[in-house]
Structure 1
């Protein structure tokens, strides 16, 4: 085996439990049909569950992870679940054809939402597969057309505070997901703790939320929304919108996703679709510009390495009726073997990351985690039927107790 076959999928679940029987048959739609199933399957999930369950984590998320596991069983029989992690509402799951090839797993997480909470943020897993170090990052950053600068700032904070911690067992369950995110630093060269590492390949997948306009569409703009057509010069062909894609523009300016590459986009926008039964790919909501929010990028092999990454397919998957996003998949091959040490100080982003690691990353994450638990408890009590039941029972119990005490006081 001269290469590792990778397949990455990103999907915004819209806080709704994924239906395995709908998702599973299409997970591998962007994987070449004439080659064996991938060695490693990575699934990036955004808005995996309602905020209460996401912030509390643990067993509250088990049904949501289980649904993805069931979908993967339908898509790639024989692939074993290796590890799942979430940072608030963003999660990452890794499956492998032969998990015995995987070792030295590390995790990282950072929130970039309000007060650095995990309603937006990133979660990462770094592992070694047969001496090849791979770093996978699932991300979800600021929404809305006019928030382009905020998205760039979110990316900056992810790079500064996504710090990988001590090794964890591949068999550890996601129920204790918050523990590894708060562990101490691993021993070794501090320059290799962040997202960019001289010895690692890097992949970023998620709802990056870059749009095709800085303002909301006017009613008259709806006529320009993409519709089925093979004529590239037609105003309704999606390529007309892609020319205004913020992510393509900001990457060229060096303002975001520094050093990362993306395969050519040949598919229609992935957002914002109205809920449907999957019968139409062009049923757009009128109050948002159709945009390529869901993306997968990768870091090319370093300049001092002869073998290069090879992309096979980058495509959109069918819409699921539970989300206003369409999943996106990327299949590629990565050279097998460790990235050699650079012969000298090459001009490579692995050696010169765009931002230094924030020395306070650990304490900031610990404070944010406490806030998430507090918000999660309140949201659970107010926004879930289980929480409402607890509140009602508490009120009725308090009233009953008060009545009993009053009756005992009556002479």
Structure 2
């Protein structure tokens, strides 16, 4: 049995989302024959400044969408009825309601809103299908990290790690509570990322990816070192669904647990299936392409190619493709064919007109996937590995030019994955990641949070009309008080 996973990413350029999301998340030509079992939606530049700098919210829920959608009814979405949502929590709820409406309208099935999380400009939503997934979830964790100056988080990553009972997916659950079997995990990880901007910053983007691998770490407390589970009922009684708001920080259990547990640390690579997506910001390389029709590729010739919709001719000019081939980023990841136009940079309001005045176009918005190609043989030499055929089928991978809210175009991908397992429980310290865990990740996250709030306060005081008025008023009051004190003395 396979699982269908739908992933969508959209850099909304700090704009209020005011468009029906159906053609993005459920396009009619995407060959969706079965309902997605897991739906993951990521946004970049989700909130306007300065309120984005105060954004660090995470919610785990086990509430079904059906009751929420029933209250909304089946009326179509009307952009004209929107109120502007400036607060981050309000934006999260507003966007979540849009996604939930679309899911219900296109599936007519019950889904659970599993995760709603944000960090500065990033937002991540996860929904799971009640019929096939929800009751088999063993553990859920959220982790975040900011990259760039002072680790503020305007660029960075938000990740979700989901552990599912793979026996249930494969139809190997016991028929009765008295029947026992060896529990097998299916570990899924989803990372929404936003990397360094500007065409010349290829090296920094590679470093941002490295930082996310080093500092986006999950703290799993579900199993002890010597855990040996024999039944689904016992495992579900003992497990906790955990939420990590900060890397290695406080965790709040949503389900009660009475067993003592030992912490394990997992990178994003410690997964059976890993999806890395977002505004990765790699552009089309210009100056270094010397053999483009015997001429150097420049903005003018690039625009000619794009206007003729001959983007296949410039795939070799994609910075990210070059960096992956050279082994500098996204180690072990795969991607579908780029059979769509570059997703950036467009005139806002335009379907196909590129704005090249200050930015180089590129396939900035991407969805990559990784699957565990080697695994330890149970009961054998830890160094022994076994190769497997690909358990991932990419059904569709496309952009959606009709969305003109932003200078980016949204992208979606539909996958079918087939769980394949040789192990029962993933042990911490597995050598899957190409980078070591950053021992100072908690300190960097704390500094990033403090820096983000300082920047937000300064931006509000000196970059907004209300803040400037407040600053002037405080200044006037201060000068008046000083004048009074001087007069009295």
Give the structure-1-normalised TM-score. Answer: 0.82
Specify whether residues 311 and 354 from structure 1 end up closer, same or farther in structure 2 by C-alpha distance, changes over 3 A only: same
2:121 alignment partner, one of 89, 96, 100: 89
* 3-state SS of paired residue (2:458): helix
Specify whether residues 39 and 160 from structure 1 end up closer, same or farther in structure 2 by C-alpha distance, changes over 3 A only: same
Query: Is the 1:141–1:155 contact (alpha carbons within 8 Å) kept by the matching residues of 2?
Result: yes
Show the counterpart of 1:340: 422
1:255 alignment partner, one of 328, 338, 346: 328
1:149-168 alpha-carbon deviations (Å, 9 max, x no partner): 11111111111111113579
Specify whether residues 382 and 44 from structure 1 end up closer, same or farther in structure 2 by C-alpha distance, changes over 3 A only: same
- Pairwise CA distance, 1:284: 3.9
1:28 alignment partner, one of 6, 26, 29: 26
- Pairwise CA distance, 1:102: 3.1
Query: Is the 1:7–1:31 contact (alpha carbons within 8 Å) kept by the matching residues of 2?
Result: no
Show the counterpart of 1:377: 457
What is the root-mean-square deviation of aligned Cα atoms in Å? 3.2
1:209-252 alpha-carbon deviations (Å, 9 max, x no partner): 111116598563454340244xxxxxxx1112211111111111
Specify whether residues 56 and 223 from structure 1 end up closer, same or farther in structure 2 by C-alpha distance, changes over 3 A only: closer
Does residue 80 of the first structure (1) align with residue 112 of the second (2)? yes
Show the counterpart of 2:157: 122
Show the counterpart of 1:139: 193
Query: Is the 1:135–1:201 contact (alpha carbons within 8 Å) kept by the matching residues of 2?
Result: yes
Query: Is the 1:30–1:316 contact (alpha carbons within 8 Å) kept by the matching residues of 2?
Result: no
**Structure 2: distance between partners of 1:384 and 1:43:** 30
Does residue 18 of the first structure (1) align with residue 17 of the second (2)? yes
**Structure 2: distance between partners of 1:115 and 1:47:** 18
Query: Is the 1:271–1:325 contact (alpha carbons within 8 Å) kept by the matching residues of 2?
Result: yes
Specify whether residues 368 and 58 from structure 1 end up closer, same or farther in structure 2 by C-alpha distance, changes over 3 A only: closer
- Pairwise CA distance, 1:33: 4.3
- Pairwise CA distance, 1:274: 0.8
**Structure 1: distance between partners of 2:356 and 2:458:** 32
- Pairwise CA distance, 1:388: 4.2
The gaps in structure 2 that reach 5 residues or longer are 58-86, 105-109, 167-185, 223-239, 252-260, 289-296, 375-385, 425-429
* 3-state SS of paired residue (1:51): coil
2:143 alignment partner, one of 108, 117, 128: 108
Does residue 316 of the first structure (1) align with residue 389 of the second (2)? no
Query: Is the 1:110–1:123 contact (alpha carbons within 8 Å) kept by the matching residues of 2?
Result: yes
- Pairwise CA distance, 1:70: 2.6
**Structure 1: distance between partners of 2:115 and 2:464:** 28
Show the counterpart of 1:46: 44
The gaps in structure 1 that reach 5 residues or longer are 230-236, 343-349
Specify whether residues 23 and 387 from structure 1 end up closer, same or farther in structure 2 by C-alpha distance, changes over 3 A only: farther
- Pairwise CA distance, 1:201: 1.4
Show the counterpart of 1:232: none
1:341-386 alpha-carbon deviations (Å, 9 max, x no partner): 39xxxxxxx7342111111111121122111111112122233455
2:262 alignment partner, one of 172, 187, 190: 187
**Structure 2: distance between partners of 1:70 and 1:297:** 27
Does residue 288 of the first structure (1) align with residue 347 of the second (2)? no
Specify whether residues 259 and 30 from structure 1 end up closer, same or farther in structure 2 by C-alpha distance, changes over 3 A only: farther
- Which structure would you say has the larger Rg? 2
Query: Is the 1:271–1:292 contact (alpha carbons within 8 Å) kept by the matching residues of 2?
Result: yes
Query: Is the 2:286–2:317 contact (alpha carbons within 8 Å) kept by the matching residues of 1?
Result: no
- Pairwise CA distance, 1:256: 0.3
Query: Is the 2:193–2:280 contact (alpha carbons within 8 Å) kept by the matching residues of 1?
Result: yes
Segment drifting more, 387-396 vs 306-315: 387-396
* 3-state SS of paired residue (1:14): coil
* 3-state SS of paired residue (1:180): coil
Show the counterpart of 1:328: 411
**Structure 2: distance between partners of 1:189 and 1:165:** 6
The residue correspondences of 1:370-409 to structure 2 (distance < 5 A) are 370-388=450-468, 390-391=470-471, 394-395=474-475
Does residue 244 of the first structure (1) align with residue 317 of the second (2)? yes
1:287-321 alpha-carbon deviations (Å, 9 max, x no partner): 43321011000013424456711110001123433
- Pairwise CA distance, 1:184: 6.2
Specify whether residues 368 and 310 from structure 1 end up closer, same or farther in structure 2 by C-alpha distance, changes over 3 A only: same
Show the counterpart of 1:233: none
